[in-house]
């Protein structure tokens, strides 16, 4: 597994981790302290902001998990990947999208911008 794939795996692990202490460890290993995240619904800055955002998603969509849905594409300090958010039954995704990231010199995520491709409502 490449360094970039490890970082992207950490990105998904952060979103899916329900244990606060473990999530903070994963976040620190994956994101720079001054990292930022933005998508049409959320913005977050720094590790604490990222953690609050993830807790909000877990509260709104308990049991839902993010999954990588295609290959990770990277060049220079830029990375992109596609994803889905699906419920515990693994059925139709609640949301799908593409994320674009900028890596820091140490290889961790410095900026992530997310775009939704589809959004539905849980039944």
Answer whether residue 85 shows pLDDT above 90.
Answer: yes
Tokens read off for 77: 């300090």
Q: Of the CATH numbers 3.20.20.80, 3.10.450.50, 3.40.1390.30, 3.30.9.30, which one belongs to the domain with range 3-119?
A: 3.10.450.50
Nearest Cα neighbor of 93 from 72, 123, 113 is: 123
pLDDT digits (tens, 9 = 90+) for 12-31: 999 999 999 999 999 999 99
Q: Is 114 exposed, middle or buried (0-12, 13-18, 19+ CB in 10 A)?
A: middle
Answer whether residue 123 shows pLDDT above 60.
Answer: no
Its pTM stands at 0.94
Answer whether residue 1 shows pLDDT above 70.
Answer: no
Q: Is 89 exposed, middle or buried (0-12, 13-18, 19+ CB in 10 A)?
A: exposed
| Per-residue H/E/C for 33-101 | EEEEEECCCCEEEHHHHHHHHHHHHHHHCCCCEEEECCCCEEECCEEEEEEEEECCCCCCCCEEEEEEE
Measured in whole angstroms, the distance separating CA 104 from the mean position of its chain's CA atoms is 16
């Amino acid at each position: 597994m490449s360094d970039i794939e490890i970082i992207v795996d950490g990105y998904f692990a952060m979103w899916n981790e329900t244990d606060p202490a473990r999530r903070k460890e994963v976040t620190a290993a994956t994101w720079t302290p001054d990292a930022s995240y933005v998508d049409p619904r959320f913005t977050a800055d720094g590790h604490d902001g990222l953690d609050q955002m993830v807790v909000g998603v877990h509260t709104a969509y308990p049991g839902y998990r993010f999954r990588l849905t295609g290959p990770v594409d990277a060049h220079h300090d830029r990375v992109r990947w596609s994803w889905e958010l699906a419920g515990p039954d693994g059925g139709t995704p609640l949301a799908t999208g593409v994320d674009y990231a900028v890596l820091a010199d140490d290889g961790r995520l410095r900026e992530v911008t997310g775009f939704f491709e589809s959004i539905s409502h849980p039944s």
